[in-house]
Amino acid sequence: MIKYTPLTLDEIPEDEQEVLLTKVAMEIVKRRLTVPAIVFLETCKPLNFIGSQMLIALNPFVTAIFNTAEYQKFALIIEKDANVELLTQLIEKLDGEEKK
């Protein structure tokens, strides 16, 4: 069975986008990378398209979390400003819950 890989963000349902962002946030918090991840996201926010393209360079690290289809979807999802902000909020929320 061949898995379909989307070519644009519009091809990924919003609920699937949120599931992938939550998965990333959980992995970041689990690995105690909250602060570096937030600094990176905030730094790259004005250049989120370029930041999403940097995911190609981070492939070895990202594929530890995702399979190839999820990785490509995440690269598309992170291009949108609102999704970068949502990811930051999810990381902060999950980190706060873990510290309780």
User: Counting beta carbons within 10 angstroms of the beta carbon of residue 35, is it exposed (0 to 12), middle (13 to 18) or buried (19 or more)?
Assistant: exposed
| CA–CA dist 93, 83 (Å, integer) | 15
Q: Is residue 91 part of a domain?
A: yes
| pLDDT in the model for residue 56 | 63
In this prediction the pTM is 0.79
Q: Is residue 26 part of a domain?
A: no
Q: Which domain holds residue 58?
A: 36-100
Q: Is residue 73 part of a domain?
A: yes
Q: Is residue 74 part of a domain?
A: yes
Q: Is residue 87 part of a domain?
A: yes
Mean pLDDT, the chain, as a whole number?
A: 84
Q: Is residue 21 part of a domain?
A: no
Q: For tokens 């105690």, name the residue.
A: 32
- Per-residue pLDDT band for 78 (boundaries 50, 70, 90) equals confident
Report the number of distinct structural domains present in the chain: 1
